[in-house]
Chains A and B, each alone.
Chain A
């Protein structure tokens, strides 16, 4: 057995199970003979027990659906809540109080991860419009479907795109009508559709876009989701609270017809 001098470092190693087995007996003897070190070891052991007790409950919590979904999800481009990716802002917010002389830091925080991407903005505006107007019984649209020709020419002129309201009858949706909305620095057209059960979806089309992107965006578990496309010169989002597959099918049909209309 090796005889050596022990030190405080060995307290940590013993506590963490890193002390070689053949040194254990000698270490215990050293600890017994050294009241101060023994007390220290006992305090560290108690702190560790308290730490484990404080966090062990997390293991028994049900795994949040949003986390298991990330792993199980089939679609790679599903975006979660806008607050996602900002976990460390909480750390930053805490750190701001911990850090002295933080003036320069405060100036920088606005840029930290808070930039909204073009597709986030499009999807968020489209969802916001849907939440407000799809719930309206009498004032959901400005121009009703009965005046479809006027609706199309009016929105086309305002938005600056040649808009043709897609025919979604094959997916079970009839046009209710449309309205003009602000979007970013410009304007957007919103077209509202309804199926025979009263379920509503909306199309949100804007001429403002420089980016190219597509994906799905849903902010909450049961809230409406948006399927969106951005291309040079236009952006489109289809919003609804449908099952993802059905929404995707509706969106695909709408997109094909919109694109054909734009290029006609």
Chain B
């Protein structure tokens, strides 16, 4: 197997983690990764040697994700309303998660896809602002505001969940 393919294989765990944070449902996330890999293999010649395979693959996957989310949004013609994500979750997560873990995963799913991607890219995947802006194809300022809004929104949802939980206990 050639070097490029070996490098791509090595990135699959990271791609799966990113996809899981975007989509949550395991099978759907792996389908996204598979689409990404198939597209990458077709375009193997576009990948410049010396360019990080990670950045190249993340860019491909992000485009696939955001294109589809846009289609969904256009048909919806309305803004996303941050419902409690557990209500919006079609497929239950199969793994056993702690309550805290489930709450933050739910909250992450409830924030807008653009903010979710920006936040995950930096906070979980550890890309620099410059790298993340490049992958997402937005100016650095836009990236920063998405990260900031994303964090605020996430925290507000978590505070809200915590408040509701304490009300329930009382």
Contacts and interface: CB of A to CB of B under 8 A. Distances in A.
Interface of A: 8-9, 12-13, 15-18, 43-44, 47-48, 50-59, 61, 63-64, 66-68, 70-72, 76, 80, 83-102, 104-105, 108-109, 112
Contact of B34 (A43, A80, A91): A80
Interface of B: 1, 5, 8-9, 12-14, 16-17, 20-21, 23, 25, 27-35, 37-38, 41, 65, 68-69, 71-73, 75-78, 80-83, 87-91, 95, 97, 100-101, 104-105, 108-110, 120, 122-124, 128-129, 144, 147-148, 151, 154-155, 158
B152 to A, nearest CB: 9
B90 A86 contact: no
Nearest to A48: B123
Given A68-B12, A87-B23, A99-B76, A94 B89 contact: yes
Given A56-B17, A71-B41, A102 B76 contact: yes
A14 to B, nearest CB: 12
A85 B35 CA distance: 6
Given A52-B124, A67-B12, A98-B88, A88 B32 contact: yes
A73 B39 CA distance: 14
Contacts of B144: 9, 12-13
A8 B148 CA distance: 9
A125 B160 CA distance: 50
B37 A71 contact: yes
Contacts of B12: 63, 67-68, 71
Contact of A87 (B29, B71, B76): B29
Given A47-B154, A85-B31, A100-B78, A63 B16 contact: yes
A83 B28 CA distance: 9
A61 B16 contact: yes
Given A54-B101, A101-B78, 8 more contacts: A47-B151, A52-B123, A59-B13, A64-B30, A72-B5, A72-B9, A91-B23, A105-B77
Contacts of B25: 90
Interface SS, B side: helix
B1 to A, nearest CB: 6
Given A52-B124, A66-B34, A88 B148 contact: no
Given A51-B104, A71-B41, A101-B78, A84 B35 contact: yes
A46 B37 CA distance: 33
B148 A90 contact: no
A149 to B, nearest CB: 46
B89 A55 contact: no
A12 B37 contact: no
Contact of B90 (A48, A55, A57, A94): A94
B72 to A, nearest CB: 5
Given A51-B124, A54-B105, A88 B28 contact: yes
Nearest to A17: B128
Contacts of B1: 72
A59 B78 CA distance: 35
A174 to B, nearest CB: 38
Contacts of A57: 95
B31 A50 contact: no
For A55, A61, A97, the residue with the greatest tally of chain B CB atoms inside 10 Å of its CB is A55
29 contacts: A18-B129, A44-B151, A47-B155, A54-B104, A59-B14, A59-B17, A63-B9, A64-B30, A66-B30, A67-B33, A71-B37, A72-B9, A84-B35, A87-B23, A87-B30, A88-B23, A88-B65, A88-B68, A89-B28, A94-B89, A95-B80, A97-B87, A97-B88, A98-B88, A98-B110, A99-B80, A99-B81, A100-B78, A102-B78
